[in-house]
Amino acid sequence: MTTWQLLTSMWHWHPSVLLGTGAVFLAYEAALGFRLSKATLYFGGGLLVLLVALLSPLHTLGEAYLFSAHMLQHLLLLLVVPPLLLGGLTPELLQRVLRRPLVRLVERELRRPVVAWLLGIGTMWLWHLPALYNASLEYEWVHIVEHLAFILTSVIFWWPVMAPSDEGQMSPLIVVIYLFTAMLASSLLGIILTFAAPGLYPAYLDPEDRHGILALLRKGWGMTPELDQQVGGLLMWVPGSLAYLVAIMALLARWYYAPDEDAWGNSIDEYAR
C-alpha cells in the first residue's frame, strides 16, 4: 500500500459519529433560525475538524499503529475543536441556554479559573498516564470515554477565555496567567513523552498489522517505535504549547486595539481576591 492509498482508503464512516454530529449541527441551526453567519462557520468548522479527527485515517493510525498519529488526533480534540465550537456561540444563544437556573448554576461554578484549568489540563495529563492510555487502546468503550472527556473538559477549559459574554470571560491578567501556566503544563508533558524510554505505550512496539500498512510506516515513513514516540512528544511539546501562546497573543492584540483603562487594574484586584 502506498501513502496515497492509505490517505484515501482508510476512512471509516461510523453511523453514530455522522448522525450525532449531524444532529448537533441541526439543533444548533434551529436555535439560530437556520441563517448563515460567521458564528455558523465557526461552529460548522469545529464539527468538521471533529469528523476528520474521528473518521479519517488519523483515527486508524492512532488506534492501531502510531502514537504520533494518536497525539495529533488528541491535539485536534483539545485545541482546535473546542475553540471553534465556542466561537460559534452567540450572546443571544447563550442567554437562552442560561435562563434555566440549574444550567446557570453549573456554568457559574465550572467557569471559575481554577476549576476550569484543573479539569482541562488535569484530564489531558490523566489520559496520557500509561495505564489509562493503554486501556483506551485495548477497549473501545474506554477510547470513546477518553475522547468525550477531552472534548467536554477542553470546552470547559476554553470557556472562561472565549465565553460570548462579559460575565463569563476572565480579565486580561488572569487570562495571561491561565494560558501561560497551561502552556507550561503542556510543554512539561511533551518533554516527558519525548524523552521517555521507548515502550511507554507497548501497543505501538509491535502492532498487529490488520490493515497491511506496517511495512509502509516502518520502512517507507521511517517510523520506528522510538521515533514515533519522540514525534508524538514533540507534537505535544511544540505545536501544543504554541497554541496557548497564539491564544495569548491574539487576546492581547484584541485588548490593545479595544483598550479599557481599568482592565488591568481590575484584573489585579480580581487576582488578589
Q: What is the mean pLDDT of residues 85-111?
A: 89
Q: What is the mean pLDDT of residues 204-212?
A: 91
Domain presence at residue 3: no
Residue 270 has pLDDT above 60, yes or no: no
Domain presence at residue 2: no
Per-residue pLDDT reduced to its tens digit, 61-85: 999 999 999 999 999 999 999 999 9
Domain presence at residue 131: yes
* Confidence tier at 137 by pLDDT (50, 70, 90): very high
**Total domains present in the chain:** 1
φ, ψ of residue 41 in degrees (nearest 5): -65, -40
Give the per-residue pLDDT at 268: 35
Lowest mean pLDDT among 50-54, 151-155, 235-239, 252-256: 252-256
Give the C-alpha distances (Å, rounded to integers) separating 176 from 145, 182, 238, 271.
31, 10, 19, 12
* Confidence tier at 100 by pLDDT (50, 70, 90): confident
Domain presence at residue 4: no
Residue 177 has pLDDT above 70, yes or no: yes
Q: What is the mean pLDDT of the chain?
A: 89
Burial 192-208 (b: 16+ CB within 10 A, else e): ebbeeebebbebbeebe
Domain presence at residue 183: yes
* Confidence tier at 12 by pLDDT (50, 70, 90): confident
Domain presence at residue 35: yes
CA pair distance 24, 18, nearest whole angstrom: 10
Residue type, 131: A
Residue 91 has pLDDT above 90, yes or no: no
Query: Inter-axis angle of helices 15-32 and 38-55, to 10 degrees?
Result: 170
Cell (9 digits) for 243: 497554541
Residues of the chain with pLDDT > 90: what percent? 67
Q: What is the mean pLDDT of residues 194-212?
A: 91
Domain presence at residue 5: no
Per-residue pLDDT reduced to its tens digit, 22-35: 999 999 999 888 88
| Residue 94 lies in domain | 10-272
Q: What is the mean pLDDT of residues 177-201?
A: 95
Domain presence at residue 100: yes
Residue 265 has pLDDT above 80, yes or no: no
Residue 221 has pLDDT above 50, yes or no: yes
Q: What is the mean pLDDT of residues 94-103?
A: 86
